């Protein structure tokens, strides 16, 4: 095999300081990921003629191929990544090598590596690799006419194939549920009604399979169910029980994603109105997330919301600053970037007005004022956007625009907040109507809204199937509204 090695290794030497066009291109893309073809051609070749752009395209293809080859040599030992990744990739690496050895007819070494891969796959409960490895061993033993090991591995294969069928069924059901969760409100409500049946089906699959794959589908479905119906205290218990089972050795440590448990724990504390407890855990758990991962950004979203709910606005600012400075933010989806902008806009509002805003923050603040009263891609944040606009115009004491935003909130309530599960949002919007009824007099509005405010305090957050996101709890927003009125009522433009 050594005689057939390629002449030039198709890799980039990322540690080399020797300048070449491949390295110039990579460094340019790192500095300016949004650079155009013309800008790249000029940076690499000194000019951007059609011939140089064509040469750049060939260079890009060559560099991309070499960068893809780097994937074989990534370090997966960092425990802040998914724990199962390094064990699964070890199996995949062995399967890849065995495939080449088998093709080269080196059966002895292929058998040794396959047996090693089978042990690793069984230890990690990677059933798909147990099936793949056992099938390759069966074929190898059949070709070599070894009946005893052939029969033994065939039994292993048949058992693993049945196991994989149960896991595939459980995984398909769980994937269908996750799709519904991220779909429309109607889809989530339909899913909530169907969840008891889905859980019973997954229970049956777990009892038959008793594998991590069937367990994990059932576990995540239980979390989805409690999340949808708003039973966040039960969600905390479900997550804590899983972590306890891991510590007791009842769950496979090579497969169980403890980071997922961390995320769901602080989410449950946020939604169950225990932000102080959630913050204590968040500040400890964040160490288990790698800053380059999307999971880090998802976790930090809930971290900043916990800080906002606890009234720890300076801490929320620190989290937002850490997010903004993370180089991996350029890979975030547009919807995620808009959520970060919304959180930052709320924070800039409640922090002291002496805070100097950057040009981008001023631009974002202006964009928030121009957003439509209802946007499907802002699902769950529409009330938050309208309320932020209202707060801005209350601070500006602009009567006409305050009344316009209140009218938009009233229309939004009539169209989209009619279900019993939207009670918290409706109670808060009724409180906002009180300020108009009492002619923007804060003392009278506070007295008139006392019963509504108590009702709001007594109303728990709804489940994820119905929720409008409260970036700052409605109770706290009401105090902010009264504080703005104490500074002076809105007035008509002259």
| pLDDT value of residue 368 | 54
**Sign of CA pseudo-dihedral 376, 382, 388, 393:** positive
Residue 292 class from Cβ within 10 Å (0-12 exposed, 13-18 middle, 19+ buried)? middle
In sequence order, the β-bridge partners of residue 491 are 398
Look at residues 361, 362, 406 and name the one whose alpha carbon lies nearest to residue 386: 406
| pLDDT value of residue 415 | 85
- Asked if residue 297 lies in contact with residue 323, where contact means CB atoms within 8 angstroms, the answer is yes
- Asked if residue 117 lies in contact with residue 133, where contact means CB atoms within 8 angstroms, the answer is yes
Task: Supply 218's token pair.
Answer: 């059932």
| pLDDT value of residue 79 | 82
**125: left (phi > 0), else alpha (psi -120 to 50), else beta?**
left
- Consecutive 10-residue averages of pLDDT for the chain (494 residues): 66 73 82 83 86 88 86 81 92 94 92 97 97 97 95 97 98 95 83 95 96 97 92 94 95 95 95 94 95 94 96 94 92 87 90 56 55 49 88 91 90 83 89 93 94 93 70 94 92 75
The residue extents of the domains of the chain are 2-72, 84-143, 278-370, 371-487
| pLDDT value of residue 380 | 65
| pLDDT value of residue 378 | 47
Distance CA(204)–CA(210), nearest Å, equals 10
| pLDDT value of residue 255 | 96
Per-residue three-class SS string for the chain:
CHHHCCCCCCCCCCCCCCCCHHHHHHHHHHHCCCCCHHHHHHHHHCCCCHHHHHHHHHHHHHHHHHHHHHHHHCCCCCCCCCHHHHHHHHHHHHHHHHHHHHHCCCHHHHHHHHHHHHHHHHHHCCHHHHHHHHHHHHHHHHHCCCHHHHHHHHHHHHHHHHHHHHHHHHHHHHHHHHHHHCCCHHHHHHHHHHHHHHHHHHHHHHHHHCCHHHHHHHHHHHHHHHHHHCCHHHHHHHHHHHHHHHHCCCCCCCCCCHHHHHHHHHHHHHHCCCHHHHHHHHHHHHHHCCCCCHHHHHHHHHHHHHHHHCCCHHHHHHHHHHHHHCHHHHHCCHHHHHHHHHHHHHHHHHCCCCCCCCHHHHHHHHHHHHCCCCCHHHCCCHHHHHHHHHHHHHHHCEHHHHHHHHHHHHHHHHHHCCCHHHHHHHHHHHHHHHHHHCCCCHHHHHHHCHHHHHHHHHCCCCCCCCCCCCCCCHHHHHHHHHHHHHHCCCECCC
- What global pTM score does this model have? 0.81
Distance CA(300)–CA(316), nearest Å, equals 10
Backbone angles phi, psi at 123, to 5 degrees: -65, -40
In sequence order, the β-bridge partners of residue 456 are none
- How many residues comprise the chain? 494
- Asked if residue 417 lies in contact with residue 401, where contact means CB atoms within 8 angstroms, the answer is no
Other C-beta atoms lying within 10 Å of the C-beta of residue 377: 8
């Amino acid at each position: 095999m050594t005689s057939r090695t390629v002449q030039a290794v198709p890799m980039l030497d990322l540690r080399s300081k020797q300048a070449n066009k491949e390295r110039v291109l990579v460094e340019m893309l790192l500095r300016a990921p949004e650079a155009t073809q013309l800008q790249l051609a000029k940076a690499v070749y000194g000019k951007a003629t059609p011939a140089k752009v064509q040469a750049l395209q060939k260079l890009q293809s060559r560099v991309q191929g070499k960068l893809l080859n780097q994937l074989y040599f990534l370090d997966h030992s960092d425990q802040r990544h998914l724990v199962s990744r390094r064990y699964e990739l070890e199996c995949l690496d062995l399967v890849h090598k065995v495939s080449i050895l088998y093709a080269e007819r080196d059966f002895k070494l292929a058998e040794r590596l396959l047996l090693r891969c089978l042990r690793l796959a069984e230890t990690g409960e990677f059933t798909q690799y147990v099936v793949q490895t056992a099938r390759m061993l069966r074929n190898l033993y059949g070709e070599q006419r070894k009946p005893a090991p052939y029969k033994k591995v065939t039994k292993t294969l048949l058992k693993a194939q049945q196991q994989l069928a149960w896991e595939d069924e459980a995984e398909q059901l769980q994937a269908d549920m996750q799709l519904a969760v991220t779909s429309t409100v109607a889809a989530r409500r339909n899913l909530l009604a169907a969840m008891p049946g889905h859980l019973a089906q997954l229970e049956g699959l777990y009892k038959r399979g008793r594998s991590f794959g069937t367990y994990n589908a059932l576990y995540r479905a239980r979390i989805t169910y409690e999340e949808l119906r708003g039973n966040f205290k039960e969600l905390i218990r479900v997550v804590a029980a899983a972590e306890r089972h891991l510590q007791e050795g009842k769950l496979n440590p090579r497969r169980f994603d403890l980071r997922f448990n961390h995320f769901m724990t602080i989410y449950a504390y946020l939604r169950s109105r225990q932000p102080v407890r959630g913050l204590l855990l968040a500040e400890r758990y964040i160490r288990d997330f790698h800053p380059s991962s999307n999971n880090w950004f998802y976790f930090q979203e809930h971290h900043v919301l916990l800080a906002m709910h606890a009234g720890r606005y300076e801490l929320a600012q620190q989290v937002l600053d850490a997010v903004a400075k993370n180089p991996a933010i350029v890979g975030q989806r547009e919807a995620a970037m808009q959520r970060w902008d919304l959180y930052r806009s709320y924070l800039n509002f409640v922090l002291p007005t002496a805070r100097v805003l950057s040009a981008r923050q001023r631009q974002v603040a202006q964009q928030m004022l121009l957003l439509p009263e209802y946007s499907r891609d802002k699902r769950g944040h529409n009330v938050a956007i309208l309320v932020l606009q209202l707060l801005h115009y209350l601070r500006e004491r602009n009567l006409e625009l305050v009344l316009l935003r209140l009218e938009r909130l009233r229309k939004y309530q009539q169209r989209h907040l009619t279900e019993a599960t939207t009670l918290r949002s409706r109670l808060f919007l009724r409180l906002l109507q009180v300020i108009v009824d009492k002619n923007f007099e804060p003392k009278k509005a506070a007295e008139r809204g006392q019963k509504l405010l108590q009702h709001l305090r007594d109303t728990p957050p709804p489940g994820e199937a119905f929720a409008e996101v409260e970036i700052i709890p409605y109770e706290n927003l009401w105090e902010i509204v009264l504080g703005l009125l104490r500074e002076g009522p809105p007035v008509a433009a002259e």
